[in-house]
A and B are shown apart, each in its own frame.
Chain A
Amino acid sequence: MIDDLLALLHSWVDRGAVVDYDDEQVAAPHTVIAAFDAAGFDDDVARLTAGAEHLQRLGDRLGGVCADLPEVWSGPGGVSAATAAGRLHEELAAAADQLTVQARTAATAAAVLGEVLGEYRTVMAAAAAPLAVGTSPQAAGDELSARLDAARAAGLATERAVRESLDVLADQWRTAGELILAGGR
């Protein structure tokens, strides 16, 4: 996307338009966005969500076994078996809940980033659109300068959204051991 805008700039500079810009500076705010594969991120979120739902179903089934055990086996042995199964059910439910929270947070981030990236693409498409036929080089210079400002603002805002969303997720995803090492707990 930023490459399209740069190509447009180059073509108008070649035709005599005066625009003050530097390729690397123009591209800089967009590198983080270009490096982020939103579709791949959505795939991971979908996997997490499916995994969490599967674990929840397994937890429900184990809960059913725990509920049935006292009906089919009474006495100390039965109570022990039910207690052991109940403990495992609690652990599984906790793991499923954790994964569900991770998946939900990631899904929220994916939805927000999807919206932000959609707006970004709209701005960038407008910025890289061909200028009206008959535009003079001088008018083109003014127009392209304005477009550069818009693209830079969109790039910075989107880059920040991607970075901050992933920072939040990274903090949430870090394991307990890593949190202890990082002094986060």
Chain B
Amino acid sequence: MEPERSVLRLINMTGMRLDRDGVAGAAARQRAIAHELAEAAEQLGEWHFGGWAGTRGQRRAAAALRGRQLHTCGLLRRQARALDALGRALAAHEAAVGRVDGGRVDGGLP
């Protein structure tokens, strides 16, 4: 069975509802947030924290701050990628449903 038909079969078997505009909107919002998240991670990674440190003790604190922010930055990058992938998956699903029956998902199989 073609993937698109299997999507629609699943929809009808489970009696689910799918608002295509709503899913497309959610996908777009997720991808937009993912984009901003990636930008925030970039900023966090590029900031040169710790320019205020002049002694060894102060540099130790500054290094900890930089280390912590790079850690956070890596975390945010991963989250951004995961969220973007989820948004793309949602958009692909919505598009697959749309290709099968032009958005009619509550009826029977075509």
Binding site for B on A (CB under 8 A): 31-32, 34-41, 43-44, 47-48, 51, 54-55, 58, 61-62, 64-65, 68-69, 71-78, 81, 84-85, 88, 91-92, 95, 98-99, 102, 162-163, 166-167, 169-171, 173-176, 178
Known interface pairs A72-B25, A78-B16, A166-B61; 6 further A-B residue pairs with C-beta atoms within 8 A, sorted by A's residue number: A37-B53, A47-B47, A55-B40, A73-B19, A73-B22, A163-B57
Q: Is the interface of A mostly helix, strand, loop or mixed?
A: helix
The one of A37, A44, A163 in contact with B65, judged by C-beta atoms closer than 8 angstroms, is A44
Chain A contacts of B50 at CB under 8 A? 44
Q: Is the interface of B mostly helix, strand, loop or mixed?
A: helix
Chain B contacts of A51 at CB under 8 A? 40, 43-44
For the A-B complex, the count of residue pairs with Cβ-Cβ distances under 8 Å equals 149
Interface size of B in residues (CB-CB distance below 8 Å): 49
Q: For residue A106, which residue of chain B has the nearest CB?
A: B65
Give Cα A178–Cα B71 distance, bound, in whole angstroms: 11
Give Cα A170–Cα B68 distance, bound, in whole angstroms: 10
Chain B contacts of A47 at CB under 8 A? 47, 49
**A and B contact pairs by CB, cutoff 8 A, 28 listed:** A34-B54, A35-B55, A36-B53, A36-B54, A37-B54, A40-B52, A55-B40, A58-B33, A61-B29, A61-B33, A72-B19, A72-B25, A73-B23, A74-B18, A75-B18, A76-B14, A76-B16, A77-B93, A81-B93, A91-B75, A92-B79, A170-B64, A173-B64, A173-B65, A175-B64, A175-B68, A176-B71, A178-B67
